Amino acid sequence: MIVYLFMTLLLSLLGTGIYLLLKPSTILLKQRKQILYTLVFLSFTLPLLMSFLGQNNGGVSKIDQNIGATCQALLYKSNEFLNSWISNKIFLINTGVIIMLLLLLLFIGRMATLLYVVYSSQKQVLTLENQTYHILYTDRKISIGSFRLWKKYLIWPELVHELNEEEKITILWHEIAHLNQRNTFQKVSLELINIIWFFNPVIYWLKRELNDISEYLADEDTVGKTGDRLAYVKLLVRVKEQQQLHFAQSFRGGGLKKRVLRLLNSKQINYSKGMPVLILISLLLTVSVFAIQPKIETYKNEIILYAQMAQVNQDTGRTEFCTQCLKQCLKPKN
């Protein structure tokens, strides 16, 4: 499991580095999403595929070799780094498990909050373009937002009453754009991945990047519906102070400054196709896992071997071990 998680970390870091080097701001927004989804998918599945195909060498390598008079031998030499890892291994693993459990509880709590808002709010059914939406009227000080569970929900807090009808319609189009993108499922999936990848800085960047892209897409759809870019920017700034409900896609979500600058920037960007980037990242990650994972497996076996020898050395003082009869040499003596 440790080797698998370490490989997912390496692949995600490599894929993210390639993505950033290839200037993602010039790639179409929807294709940027596809690239990032593929990056996560490959980071998790390629190491599993590698293990399934049996491409790792699985052998026990030698840490330090001496050739004895009658057999090949391993000479034990103390390594402070490995000694520290071996002595703290149980503590580190238990700490990781505790962090994962805490994140799982936080996830459950956030989902429970979402359900509480659904059941505690007054509801109104809205039908628009043959789609049914459930408006949740709440007096909680939370931001205007939307989410999908078994139905499509729009959060309509007290702030909405301060807006005119045109502004309400603008917000409605924005939230419908989020519902059409299925952003709730994206957020829930990333939070579940975060439980496993809590040690991986990529997941925290990835959540922010995908959230920003979702907001850009919703902004573009909304401006396309209303046709008034400047009025939309003013509305964004006006509602920025409300608290955001987790798992709901907030109207003021994402990097507000970046959204405003993007909306006000009249410069037309010649967007490139994302497919070559997607293919390049897929190929490089595939090659990398076949090149790196066998070496990591070998190093893991070396650590296991070192740990066995270190234990015997601590118990008996022995420093030399016969390779051919290693199993017999390392058996605890009664």
Read off the pLDDT of residues 181-208 as tens digits, 9 standing for 90 and up.
Answer: 998 999 999 999 999 999 999 999 999 9
207 with 194, same domain: the answer is yes
249 with 330, same domain: the answer is no
265 with 247, same domain: the answer is yes
7 with 146, same domain: the answer is no
255 with 278, same domain: the answer is no
Instruction: Judge whether residue 210 has pLDDT over 90.
Output: yes
Residue 302 domain-assigned? no
pLDDT (average), residues 249-256: 62
- Backbone φ and ψ for 15, nearest 5 degrees, come out as -65, -40
- pLDDT digit string (tens) for 65-91? 433 334 456 777 777 888 888 888 889
pLDDT value of position 164:
84
148 with 209, same domain: the answer is yes
Range of the domain at 162: 80-270
Contact 146, 155 (CB under 8 A): yes
Give CA separation, 32 vs 202, 210, 250, in Å.
16, 9, 21
CA 2 to chain centre: 18
6 with 51, same domain: the answer is yes
Q: Could you tell me the pTM of the whole model?
A: 0.82
User: Which has the minimum average pLDDT: 59-73, 114-128, 206-220, 227-241?
Assistant: 59-73
Instruction: Judge whether residue 248 has pLDDT over 80.
Output: no
Residue 63 domain-assigned? yes
- pLDDT digit string (tens) for 135-147? 898 887 777 888 8
Residue 47 domain-assigned? yes
pLDDT tier at 12, thresholds 50, 70, 90: very high
pLDDT value of position 62:
42
Domains held by the chain: number: 2
Helix (DSSP H) and strand (DSSP E) numbers for the chain: 10, 8
209 with 71, same domain: the answer is no
Q: Dihedral sign, CA of 328, 87, 89, 295? A: negative
110 with 69, same domain: the answer is no
- Distance, in Å, from the CA atom of 36 to the CA atom of 285, rounded to the nearest integer, reads 13
98 with 38, same domain: the answer is no
Residue 130 domain-assigned? yes
136 with 239, same domain: the answer is yes
64 with 96, same domain: the answer is no
- Distance, in Å, from the CA atom of 203 to the CA atom of 50, rounded to the nearest integer, reads 23
